[in-house]
Amino acid sequence: MYSLQLGPEQLEIRDTIRDFVTREIKPVALKADRLDQCDRTLLIDPLDQASRMGLRSLALSEERGGAGADALTSCIVTEELAAGDADIAAILSESSRLAHILFDQCMNDTQRDAFLPKFLDGERYHLAFAGREPGNDTRLGVNYHRPADRDAVVKTTATKSANDWIVNGVKDCVANAPVAGLFAVLVQIPGRPHANVVLVPTDAPGVSVRPHDKPWQHGTCGEVAFKDCKVPAANLLGDDAAATLTGAAAPGRGIPLLQALNLGIGRAAYEAALDYAHLRVQGGRPLIEHQAIGTKLGEMAIKLEIARAAVWQAAWASDHPEAIADRSLSDLPLTTIAQVFTSETVMRTAKDAAEIFGAMGVMRDMPLAKYIHDARVCMHSGDGNTDARLRVAEEIAGYRRADKRAMRLAGE
Amino acid sequence: MDFTLSNEQRSWQMAARKFADEEIRPISLERDTISTPRETWDWDIIKKGSKLGLRTMAVPKEWGGQGTDFVTQALVMTELAKADSAISKAFSQNWKWSHLISASCTEEQKQRFLPAFVADDGWVLGKGITEPSAGSDNRMPQDDPKTGIKLRAERKGDEWILNGEKAFIANAPVGKLFFIDARTDMTVPPKQGTTLFLVPSDTPGFRIGKVFNKSGWRFYQNGEMIFENARVPHANVVGEVGGAVKKAGGAGGDTTGGDLFGDLELAANALGICDDACATALKFAKTAKQGGQALFAQQNVQLQIGKINMLTEALRSFVMRVAWEHDMKIHSANAGLAMNYSGDVANEVTELYMEIRGAEGCHMDHHTDKILRDAFIWNHLASDSVSRMKVVRRLAAAA
């Protein structure tokens, strides 16, 4: 039954993370020099602490050493973290998501034995999916409601040599690349009809990572080059892994982690404005007592509640496919729907929150300019909302594309 | 109705366009990248522009300036802002306070300051109003004597002793001469107890504090002003003691401190950003390809380009009408309404422009990001609730 009543564990973890963010993340994330978008260094200490709290392995099943968090819990945690720092939230949610997909769904026992202990032991051992390649055009755009001219070809190759795979190629904009211990690499094995995924540890010979400077993406990302990189033949994942990792298996219906992250940014902006509106006195009374400001804050609260409902609904649908099967929930791509509504809501919220701060709202070393930048990144990560609307349109038009796999290389 | 520009207006527009293309645009992104706020300013571009009259064009001809009309000023601000909004503002900020000097200073004061300002290519002007605890309260003054600005000025013989601070003051770190609002009577409402002073940057006891680290308008600097027993001669009082608010309005009949020009200035500058977005969007849509086709082939891209051009041309009509009304000495709330509107339009146009561009993988085009950050400046000083309500008060007063 569709229900958004949180269980005691979910409520407890939310309170725990909120407390952690207040005590450990906000004091360092909101320092003036860290707020400047030109100087956004990764907050290593809180990231490690969060790792030790189990947030890196949150979605990994309990029997394999994780917390076995479902999609809704993962989204709640991501929102809380992002309210403190979007970069920390992005790195942890990506590792946690991939831990569940890789260790619980895609790996066989041999592969798990090879990599799971390292992942569990190393608090800085993050996971990354190397799918996108330089020049990949993932937009729907001109291909709306018509077949794409040609499939996006995976140019990175894996060729068999005795008992090894030799990987060659370059991946770009790989989330978590600079902090990853293990890459799941989308490769083309010559002669096979579809792409495959091979596991490549960061310390394998021939792997080089070039971090991107100030990317338009949260967390940390980079270019990863594989030059005659040799890994054991056993590192090849099953044929379904490519569709699972790219999101092609259920386009627009993945766990709405980015949307939860976006929501956290909006909530941080809203809460900052609300606090300030109580404190700041102009026109003879606190700002919040002014109709114009009250209306803005009211609008923020309204839109953020609806955005959260959209994110939680998509998360619930991801956890409960039966809710779609029995028509409790729509079979539309709810994650894409949540993305459009949430990103536009959070952008508006961040701008209105900044206005409440007056000139302090446009200063780089104050929180609001950070929230605005972060909200803009969410508006334009992936292929943007114009494209997202087209993806929803294809679904409601009943258009079935044969090349979903190729179109979804960038993930959700 | 005649929309034709005079030859003189046209020639100023062409000169500004040439300067913008050849001198401003090539340095725009480079200045925006500089992360230390104190280092973003470039005297070279200011001096080059000054030699073309871009610093002094609002100074009357009899005082050695170019004495341009408001239509010309609007055209030039737009052209300069099309290449860099912050650099355009760095020039026009001088016109704003040149207007104030012309409207409010005595012949003796003009004699002391105007020729020196006109002669020195490195002389820029500013005005200090805002204080840490007085933002909106300055813009919409309250009757309570305890509200509003706190900077005190006390008379001692032929001098006034100023104590207090100002925040976010444009050109503070680079200016040579400032208009400063100070409280000369703390027992009456700020409207009656505030006096306007001319304060040169080398005034003893006066110094500049931090330079603010803005997300947009990087080139254009805003700083703190600190007054510690700063000594200003009585001869530097502009108008009457206690008459700051009235005097700053000048002959325009607007009593809000130079806003007669300031509103037009923000609207004309925003128009430049929009012109930039429209031109760049079209060029991008025609050259960038997806699946072998120019982006322009897509209906969504066409609709977005149509919308940004529609908004931009509507803004242009409004800006030029206000400029013309100023030249005709027709004063109304229109300048303020145009300013409010320009904030809405600049934000919507640059946001749509970013949507047209999209991110390229995990990268965003620097110029796109910059004009969006520049346009966002309008949110707190042109299209915010306080700015809007101020304008509505003018509407109501005129009715």
| Residue A267 within any structural domain of the chain | yes
In terms of domains, do A402 and A263 share one? yes
Kindly report the nearest CA distance between residue A48 and chain B, in angstroms: 25
Q: For residue B335, what pLDDT is reported? A: 93
Give the DSSP letter string of A102-152.
IIIII--HHHHHHHHHHHHH-TT-EEEEE---TT-----GGGTTS--SSPP
Nearest CA in chain B to A388: B355
Q: Do A141 and B291 touch (CB under 8 A)?
A: yes
Which residues have C-beta within 8 Å of that of residue B369, sequence separation ≥ 6?
A376, B354
Q: For residue A32, what pLDDT is reported? A: 81
Average pLDDT, chain B: 93
Chain-centroid distance of CA B103 in Å reads 18
Kindly report the nearest CA distance between residue B295 and chain A, in angstroms: 8
Q: A68: alpha, beta or left, given left = phi > 0 and alpha = psi -120 to 50?
A: left
Rg, C-alpha atoms of chain B = 21
Q: Do A376 and B291 touch (CB under 8 A)?
A: no
| Residue A57 within any structural domain of the chain | yes
| Residue A390 within any structural domain of the chain | yes
Residues in chain A with CB shorter than 8 Å from the CB of B142 are 283-284
Average pLDDT, chain A: 93
Give buried/exposed letters for A165-202 (b at 16+ CB in 10 A, else e). bbbbbbbbbbbbbbbbbbbbbbbbbeeeeebbbbbbbb
Q: For residue A38, what pLDDT is reported? A: 65
Give the model's confidence band at A403: pLDDT under 50 very low, under 70 low, under 90 confident, else very high. Answer: low
Q: For residue B330, what pLDDT is reported? A: 87
- Angstrom distance (rounded) from CA B184 to CA B351: 45
Q: For residue B252, what pLDDT is reported? A: 41
Encode pLDDT of A182-215 as tens digits: 999 999 999 999 999 999 999 999 999 999 988 9
In terms of domains, do A121 and A12 share one? yes
- Angstrom distance (rounded) from CA A78 to CA A76: 5
Domains, chain B, in order of start with CATH, read 7-119 (1.10.540.10), 125-250 (2.40.110.10), 258-398 (1.20.140.10)
pLDDT (mean) for A356-379: 93
Assess whether pLDDT exceeds 50 at residue A118.
yes
Which range is most confident: A16-20, A35-39, B148-152? A16-20
Q: For residue A152, what pLDDT is reported? A: 66
Which two tokens mark A196? 């495959």
Which two tokens mark A272? 């900052």
Q: Do B297 and A142 touch (CB under 8 A)?
A: yes
Encode pLDDT of A127-160 as tens digits: 999 999 998 888 899 999 988 765 568 999 999 9
CATH of the domain at A145: 2.40.110.10
Q: Do A139 and B167 touch (CB under 8 A)?
A: no
In terms of domains, do A283 and A333 share one? yes
In terms of domains, do A208 and A305 share one? no
Last residue of a domain, one of A239, A265, A297: A239
In terms of domains, do A283 and A395 share one? yes
Q: For residue B96, what pLDDT is reported? A: 87
pLDDT (mean) for B21-38: 96
Select from A149, A172, A372 the Cβ nearest to the Cβ of B291.
A149
Q: Do B376 and A173 touch (CB under 8 A)?
A: no
Ranking A134-148, A200-214, B109-123, B365-379 by mean pLDDT, the lowest is A134-148
Which two tokens mark B248? 């700053």
In terms of domains, do A287 and A343 share one? yes
| Residue A134 within any structural domain of the chain | no
Q: For residue B253, what pLDDT is reported? A: 44
| Residue A244 within any structural domain of the chain | no
Number of domains in chain A: 3
In terms of domains, do A38 and A111 share one? yes
Q: Which has the closest alpha carbon to A136: A153, A149, A119? A: A153
- Angstrom distance (rounded) from CA B75 to CA A213: 38
- Angstrom distance (rounded) from CA B376 to CA B379: 5
pLDDT (mean) for B214-231: 96
Nearest CA in chain A to B217: A362
Q: For residue A40, what pLDDT is reported? A: 77
In terms of domains, do A206 and A268 share one? no
More confident residue, B361 or B374: B374
Assess whether pLDDT exceeds 50 at residue A408.
no
Kindly report the nearest CA distance between residue A298 and chain B, in angstroms: 15
CATH of the domain at A95: 1.10.540.10
| Residue A32 within any structural domain of the chain | yes
Q: Which has the closest alpha carbon to B98: B109, B83, B82? A: B109
Which two tokens mark B140? 């919409």
CATH of the domain at A265: 1.20.140.10
Q: For residue B248, what pLDDT is reported? A: 46
pLDDT (mean) for B133-160: 89
Q: How many residues does chain B have?
A: 399
Give the model's confidence band at B249: pLDDT under 50 very low, under 70 low, under 90 confident, else very high. Answer: very low
Assess whether pLDDT exceeds 60 at residue B254.
no
Q: Do B136 and A37 touch (CB under 8 A)?
A: no
What ipTM describes this predicted complex?
0.94
Residue A65 is part of which domain span? 8-125
| Residue A24 within any structural domain of the chain | yes
Which two tokens mark B131? 């204080």
| Residue A245 within any structural domain of the chain | no
Q: Which has the closest alpha carbon to B126: B151, B153, B89? A: B89
In terms of domains, do A198 and A105 share one? no
In terms of domains, do A189 and A55 share one? no
pLDDT (mean) for B78-83: 98
